Chains A and B, each alone.
Chain A
Amino acid sequence: MMKRILLIGNPNVGKSAIFSRLTGVDVICSNYPGTTVEYYKGYIKLGDEKIEVIDVPGTYSLQPTSKAEEVVLEFLNQPADIIINVVDSTNLERNLNLTLQLLKRDVPVIVALNFWDETKHRGISIDIQKLEKLLGVPVVATCARTGEGIKELTERLKEAKSKTYQFLEEEKWYEIGKIISQVQNLSHRHHTFLDRLSEISIKPSTGIPFALIILYLTFKTVRFIAEGLISLIEPIFNEHYVPFIINIVEKTVPVKFLQDILLGTTPKPMESFGLLTTGFYIPFVAVLPYIISFYFVLSFLEDIGYLPRVAVLLDVFLHKIGVHGYTSIPILLGFGCKVPAMLATRILETEREKIIATALILMMAPCMPQTAMIISLVSPYGIKYLFFVFFILFFISLINSAVLNKILKGETPELFLEIPPYRIPYISGLFKKLWIRIKTFLTDAVPMIIFGVFVAGMLDVFRVTDFVSKIFGYPVVLFFGLPKEIVSVMILGFLRKDVSVALLKPFNLSIKQMIIACVFMVLYLPCVATFFTLLKEMGAKNTLKIIFLTLFVGTIVSILLNLII
């Protein structure tokens, strides 16, 4: 059997960064506790031997309090050959608690003192040799983001030892105190700019204005970068790509029917629904720029460590609607894509909280691809309508959560969150993370978008659209005030939500119809990728409950909008 190495440590100590360095596998690392909620596998070569390395979520102790932490115990209970205990050297005392618990077990341990570079300017000095002697296992100073110490860590893996430190459970803090007093020296240091910034952003009187400024800058930056990219890409697409592809297809594909499928029937890229025209326009011209700009800004905020502060600031408010402050992190992730957002809810402790959080994430805002399409379709009518669509969704999601909070029995657990220090983002790490996310979009979403466009074309060719709209069209006309052909668009929304919004374009809707259609398309159903993630995370029963809820709310809201505006 292949040997296995587990990376175990407190949350936010840089396990994933060390994992990436060891195995070369790119995983997402951020500066907040709870980035990793499932495990990642990679391999390293030691001599001729290939060894499996597993990165698991962080945990403070070996008694799990969330689904993410249960993963740790699951792996600890399987045979492992070495544990690399990753320790935050700027928080040695607290981290040693887990280290001592690991040393009691029958698995060889080696300690990586990560964030070593930060100890110096935090006025912390640690005597590594002494710590190594006291613990009885190898201790290696590392700095995962620069790669310092990783070579030594791999070289010394074979020296890992088990059961080197025996102590009574009741005396663990006494033992830790004893170790700390011998190996660690703290010297006074002056507050840095980042410390002051941290203080400003965590006190409510200054933190709330600060958060509003960040929010404003985030919107501005995301839009600025995205629109900038679109204005670069769109002319290239229209003036070079489209004529080029039309030329090629007309020369090589003799059949008119196939030509129509590939190119569509009109030359307008947003209305033709050709595989090679609209099928490429949606992902690469309309959506990708927003994916790039949104994830750039999000990755920056993640790496600097701002998100836990948002969680603290919003805690009181979020408690009113049944979840605690940490939920703001999955909500923010959900602005990008609902799939990672659903996974991030694993950090929440109770089922009740997960249900409320999931409904909130699904309803509060569309994912970035859908947002990009809504922006592209609605902003020509006027930017105020765009804000109106987002305001409605925001408002509805809050009301919905407040109602769920009243209906569902149970209490909202209290916030319990470590706040990491601000860290200057490491540019190469930031771009690597951005690339991981763009790659996921290119490999997972783009084929689905093109497929969605293909299905849209097929539905049209085979007159399925007419058939479906004949059957289900009447209520849509009566209740939503939308043209009956929109029913087929709604079916496609399950496949890809960006494609379904794009399909609204040829209908030449009035602004009222456009608003209703957009709101309904965001709310009514999750896309297929989100659906399967939900099934995996919540089980069939809760998934159906949530889908029924969003469909119900989407319908009611659309009917009301049709009556009111």
Chain B
Amino acid sequence: MDITQLKEGEKAKIIEIRATAGIIKKLDAIGIRPKVEIKKISSHFLRGPQTLEVGTTQLAIGFGIAKKIIVEKI
């Protein structure tokens, strides 16, 4: 499953990021990378941005990017 399929408040571990090198780099710089735990905060309507918590950081990413982040619920 990917980040968009998580429900509000659910925690998950990142398995894989299936994106271009540029996006992977950008995500990596902010701390989103495989093996990291995240918590979904909210999901906006109409394939809108997904907000999540990584460590102590909260961030919003576009639906398309979120779709590329494969996670495993914990």
Answer yes or no: do A and B interact: yes
- A residues contacting B by CB (< 8 A) are 60-61, 63, 65, 90-91, 93-94, 97-98, 122, 124, 173, 186, 198-199, 202-204, 207, 308, 311-313, 315-316, 324-325, 413-421
Do B41 and A414 touch across chains, with their CB atoms under 8 A apart? Answer: no
How many interface contacts (CB-CB < 8 Å) are there between A and B? 95
User: Which of B30, B31, B45, B56 interacts with A204 by CB under 8 Å?
Assistant: B45
- B residues contacting A by CB (< 8 A) are 8, 22, 25-26, 28-31, 33, 41-49, 51, 54-65
Smallest CB gap from B42: residue in A: A203
Do A122 and B25 touch across chains, with their CB atoms under 8 A apart? Answer: no
Q: State the CA gap A90–B51 with chains docked (Å).
A: 19
Q: State the CA gap A454–B45 with chains docked (Å).
A: 53
User: Which of B42, B56, B59, B64 interacts with A90 by CB under 8 Å?
Assistant: B56
- Chain B residues with Cβ below 8 Å from A60 are 26, 29-30
Do B46 and A316 touch across chains, with their CB atoms under 8 A apart? Answer: yes
- Chain B residues with Cβ below 8 Å from A63 are 25, 29
- Chain A residues with Cβ below 8 Å from B63 are 414
Q: State the CA gap A198–B42 with chains docked (Å).
A: 11
How far does the Cβ of B60 sit from chain A's closest Cβ, in whole Å?
4
Q: State the CA gap A98–B30 with chains docked (Å).
A: 10
- Chain B residues with Cβ below 8 Å from A202 are 41-42, 51, 58, 60
Q: State the CA gap A421–B59 with chains docked (Å).
A: 10
Q: Among B30, B59, B60, B65, which residue has the most Cβ atoms of chain A within 10 A?
A: B60
- Per CB-CB distance, the 5 closest pairs between chain A and chain B, nearest first, are A414-B62, A60-B29, A316-B48, A61-B29, A203-B42
Q: Among B8, B54, B62, which residue has the most Cβ atoms of chain A within 10 A?
A: B62
- Chain A residues with Cβ below 8 Å from B61 are 414-417
Q: State the CA gap A122–B57 with chains docked (Å).
A: 12
- Apart from the given pairs A202-B58, A312-B49, A416-B60, 14 other A-B contacts in the complex at a CB distance below 8 Å: A60-B29, A94-B55, A94-B57, A173-B33, A186-B56, A202-B42, A202-B51, A202-B60, A204-B43, A316-B44, A414-B61, A414-B63, A416-B26, A419-B51
Do B42 and A204 touch across chains, with their CB atoms under 8 A apart? Answer: yes
Do B26 and A418 touch across chains, with their CB atoms under 8 A apart? Answer: no
- Chain B residues with Cβ below 8 Å from A420 are 58
Smallest CB gap from B30: residue in A: A60
User: Which of A124, A203, A417 interacts with B8 by CB under 8 Å?
Assistant: A203
Q: State the CA gap A202–B49 with chains docked (Å).
A: 10
How far does the Cβ of A319 sit from chain B's closest Cβ, in whole Å?
8
24 A-B pairs within 8 Å (CB atoms) are namely A60-B30, A61-B25, A94-B55, A97-B31, A173-B33, A198-B58, A199-B41, A202-B42, A203-B8, A204-B44, A312-B44, A312-B49, A315-B48, A316-B45, A415-B49, A415-B60, A415-B61, A415-B62, A416-B65, A417-B60, A417-B61, A418-B57, A419-B58, A419-B60
Do A91 and B56 touch across chains, with their CB atoms under 8 A apart? Answer: yes
How far does the Cβ of B54 sit from chain A's closest Cβ, in whole Å?
8
Do B8 and A315 touch across chains, with their CB atoms under 8 A apart? Answer: no
Do A312 and B51 touch across chains, with their CB atoms under 8 A apart? Answer: yes
- Chain B residues with Cβ below 8 Å from A311 are 60
How far does the Cβ of B70 sit from chain A's closest Cβ, in whole Å?
17
- Chain B residues with Cβ below 8 Å from A416 are 26, 59-62, 65
How far does the Cβ of B63 sit from chain A's closest Cβ, in whole Å?
7
- Chain B residues with Cβ below 8 Å from A65 are 22, 26
Q: State the CA gap A415–B49 with chains docked (Å).
A: 7
- Chain A residues with Cβ below 8 Å from B41 are 199, 202-203
Known contacts A94-B31, A313-B44; is-contact A418 B25 (Cβ 8 Å): no
Q: State the CA gap A90–B8 with chains docked (Å).
A: 23
Do A414 and B8 touch across chains, with their CB atoms under 8 A apart? Answer: no
User: Which of A97, A313, A315, A421 interacts with B62 by CB under 8 Å?
Assistant: A315
How far does the Cβ of B7 sit from chain A's closest Cβ, in whole Å?
12
How far does the Cβ of B69 sit from chain A's closest Cβ, in whole Å?
12
How far does the Cβ of B6 sit from chain A's closest Cβ, in whole Å?
14
Do A324 and B30 touch across chains, with their CB atoms under 8 A apart? Answer: no
- Chain B residues with Cβ below 8 Å from A186 are 56
Q: State the CA gap A204–B47 with chains docked (Å).
A: 12
Q: State the CA gap A202–B8 with chains docked (Å).
A: 11
Q: State the CA gap A420–B60 with chains docked (Å).
A: 11
Q: State the CA gap A162–B64 with chains docked (Å).
A: 40
- Chain B residues with Cβ below 8 Å from A204 are 42-45, 48
Do A316 and B49 touch across chains, with their CB atoms under 8 A apart? Answer: yes
How far does the Cβ of B25 sit from chain A's closest Cβ, in whole Å?
6
How far does the Cβ of A167 sit from chain B's closest Cβ, in whole Å?
15
Smallest CB gap from A326: residue in B: B60
Do B45 and A414 touch across chains, with their CB atoms under 8 A apart? Answer: no
Q: State the CA gap A414–B51 with chains docked (Å).
A: 13
How far does the Cβ of A333 sit from chain B's closest Cβ, in whole Å?
20
Known contacts A202-B41, A324-B62; is-contact A418 B51 (Cβ 8 Å): no
- Chain B residues with Cβ below 8 Å from A315 are 44, 48-49, 60, 62
Do B29 and A122 touch across chains, with their CB atoms under 8 A apart? Answer: no
Smallest CB gap from A60: residue in B: B29
Known contacts A60-B30, A199-B41, A203-B8; is-contact A421 B58 (Cβ 8 Å): yes
Q: State the CA gap A216–B51 with chains docked (Å).
A: 25
Do A94 and B60 touch across chains, with their CB atoms under 8 A apart? Answer: no
Smallest CB gap from B55: residue in A: A93
How far does the Cβ of A103 sit from chain B's closest Cβ, in whole Å?
16
- Chain A residues with Cβ below 8 Å from B33 are 173
Smallest CB gap from B62: residue in A: A414
Do A122 and B46 touch across chains, with their CB atoms under 8 A apart? Answer: no
- Chain B residues with Cβ below 8 Å from A122 are 56
Q: State the CA gap A173–B27 with chains docked (Å).
A: 13
Smallest CB gap from B43: residue in A: A204
User: Which of B29, B44, B48, B60 interacts with A97 by CB under 8 Å?
Assistant: B29
